[in-house]
């Protein structure tokens, strides 16, 4: 029965991730973000479409929906499957594995939902902010390091896609290393693969522009 919760966790992650925050925020300012710049609905393009007043709530919303997906799944797990007074070692291990897998899939599918939202014609953003937030919710230490790396590279390069790549690669690499060393649960490494694949696919046009040195530079004005 406990394993039946896993697909529900994935669905919850996808539904939360699919909330098109940037589309709705920019619409409040009379702009269709899909017709501006890259056409994506993330924070960077919200900035281009309607300025900082739209970018800030978009970034916050994209972060919150990813973190909430993971936290909600963890909470629901304990609601549906209260911890018994006594458990064997095997039962405790099974329970922890199911919880970790549910949280990991919720986070991974939140990023997939953000990048390919069913509420936006299966289009979306690049997944950087949502990846950072879901990683933070899964493991605060890994999430913190990932955010620092991504923020530094955005500041250094002034290119949003480089920061997004860095967040996904960092999450993948750190969770893989920690799972191999048995410091972090192996389902989190699966999460790392999911978000890395989602970001790489979403940013395929940006990889070409980076090679051709035609990628957009972030400017304040």
CB atoms < 10 A from the CB of 219, how many? 8
How does pLDDT run across 7-46, given as a tens digit for each residue?
999 999 999 999 999 999 999 999 999 999 889 999 999 9
Q: Is residue 217, in this structure, part of any structural domain at all?
A: no
Site of tokens 């522009």 = 209
Angle between helices 89-115 and 128-138 (to 10 degrees): 170
Eight-class DSSP state of 42: S
Q: Is residue 75, in this structure, part of any structural domain at all?
A: yes
Q: Is residue 17, in this structure, part of any structural domain at all?
A: yes
- Kindly state the percentage of the chain with pLDDT values over 70: 99
Distance CA 163, CA 145 (A): 13
Q: Say if CB 196 and CB 172 are below 8 A apart.
A: yes
Structural domain of 52: 2-211
Is it the case that residue 220 has pLDDT exceeding 80?
Answer: no
Is it the case that residue 219 has pLDDT exceeding 70?
Answer: no
- Kindly state the percentage of the chain with pLDDT values over 90: 81
Tokens of 44: 């960077």
Return the SS3 of 123.
Answer: strand
Q: Is residue 21, in this structure, part of any structural domain at all?
A: yes
Q: What is the pTM of this model?
A: 0.94
How does pLDDT run across 88-114, given as a tens digit for each residue?
888 889 999 999 999 999 999 999 999
Q: Is residue 219, in this structure, part of any structural domain at all?
A: no
How does pLDDT run across 116-171, given as a tens digit for each residue?
999 999 999 999 999 999 999 999 999 999 999 999 999 998 898 999 999 999 99
Q: Is residue 12, in this structure, part of any structural domain at all?
A: yes
Q: Is residue 34, in this structure, part of any structural domain at all?
A: yes
Is it the case that residue 218 has pLDDT exceeding 80?
Answer: no
Q: How many structural domains compose the chain? A: 1
Long-range CB pairs of 31-37 (<8 Å, 24+ gap) are 34/120, 34/123, 37/216
Position with higher pLDDT, 203 vs 213 = 203
Q: Is residue 99, in this structure, part of any structural domain at all?
A: yes
């Amino acid at each position: 029965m406990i394993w039946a919760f896993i697909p529900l966790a994935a669905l919850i992650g996808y539904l939360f991730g699919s909330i098109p925050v940037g589309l709705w925020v920019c619409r409040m300012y009379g702009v269709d973000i899909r017709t501006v710049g890259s056409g994506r609905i993330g924070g960077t393009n919200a900035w281009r479409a309607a300025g900082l007043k739209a970018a800030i709530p978009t970034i916050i919303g994209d972060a919150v929906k990813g973190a909430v997906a993971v936290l909600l799944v963890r909470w629901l797990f304990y609601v549906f499957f209260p911890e018994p007074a006594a458990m064997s070692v095997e039962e405790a291990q099974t329970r922890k594995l199911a919880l970790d897998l549910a949280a990991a899939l919720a986070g991974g599918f939140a990023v997939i939902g953000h990048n390919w939202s069913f509420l936006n014609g299966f289009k979306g953003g690049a997944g950087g902010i949502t990846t950072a937030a879901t990683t933070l919710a899964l493991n605060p230490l890994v999430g913190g390091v990932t955010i620092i790396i991504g923020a530094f590279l955005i500041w250094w390069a002034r290119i949003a896609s480089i920061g997004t790549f860095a967040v996904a690669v960092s999450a993948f690499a750190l969770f893989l290393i920690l799972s191999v060393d048995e410091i972090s649960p192996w389902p989190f490494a699966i999460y790392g693969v999911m978000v890395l694949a989602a970001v790489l696919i979403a940013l395929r046009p940006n990889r070409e522009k980076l090679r051709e040195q035609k990628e957009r530079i972030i400017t304040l004005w």
